[in-house]
Amino acid sequence: MSDSASGRVAILISGRGSNLQAFLDSRDAGELPGEIALVISNSAQAEGLARADAAGVAHRVIDHRDFDNREAFDQSVLDCLLEADIELVILAGFMRIITPVLTAPFEGRLLNIHPSLLPKYPGLNTHQRALDAGDAEAGATVHFVLPELDAGPPVIQVKVPILPGDDADSLASRVLAEEHVIYPIAARWYLQGRLRLHNTGALLDGQPLPAGGIPYIPA
Ligand code: GRF
């Protein structure tokens, strides 16, 4: 498989696309040393498609319901990524479990953001679970994607306080604002050649990262 350094980035979405927007804003601010070349959604209803359109970014819908199984869907996505000479894939609210059909060829070139302080709360309903557990903090983690769900070496992690009176929605919006900050940072590190997946660990500037990734302190 090619380890092409084309600097071409694909962003995979399923819905709102606020993280996609953060990448587009980062690009517009001249802070992303690569090209957002392609947006793929598994749903034609994804609001993020309009964001891609408005930003002049090529976008495609590959509807998972048109395929018999996850592998066939992933193969179609993979074909599209290869055709577009994509170097780095950003999962941004992409609500599909992906298989080794996609993770293997893009190992070390596939990032995800998860709205929890991984390894806590992989999976869904992360904010409610943090509230139910009585946690003092919540947050988000950018990580390399390995075949396991919400697993893979963390790259950068941000913590936000859980405040009295928080519900899942208020907490989610506070975390989301920080997601928009840390995700483009991780992609920038990758595109600058500073961030790499080595065996199963993440390295930044050749140094192993802490267990939760680099701690990002919100402004
Ligand atoms: C974010 O909370 C992200 O952490 C999770 O899905 C949500 C996507 O939001 N993986 P958006 O579509 O980027 O607005």
pLDDT tens digits, 34-81: 999 999 999 999 999 999 999 999 999 999 999 999 999 999 999 999
* pLDDT mean across residues, the chain: 95
- Catalytic-residue membership of 59: no
Nearest CA to ligand 1 atom 5: 93
- Using the atom order of ligand 1, give the atom closest to the CA of residue 16: 12
Q: What is the model's pTM?
A: 0.96
Please tell me which residue in 114, 143, 180, 198 is annotated as part of the active site: 114
The pLDDT, as a whole number, for residue 4 is: 62
Percent of the chain beyond pLDDT 90? Answer: 91
Q: Report how far residue 87's alpha carbon sits from residue 47's, in angstroms, rounded to the nearest whole number.
A: 25
pLDDT at 199 over 90: no
Q: Which atom of ligand 1 is nearest to the CA of 47?
A: 12
**pLDDT classification of 3: cutoffs 50, 70, 90:** very low
Mean pLDDT over 117-136 rounds to 96
> Alpha-carbon distance 106 to 198, whole Å?
13
Q: What burial letters (b/e) apply to 103-120, b meaning 16+ CB within 10 Å?
A: bebbbbbbbbbbbbbbeb
Examine the pLDDT at 219 and tell me if it is beyond 80.
no
State the distance from the centre of ligand 1 to the C-alpha of 208, rounded, in angstroms.
Answer: 27
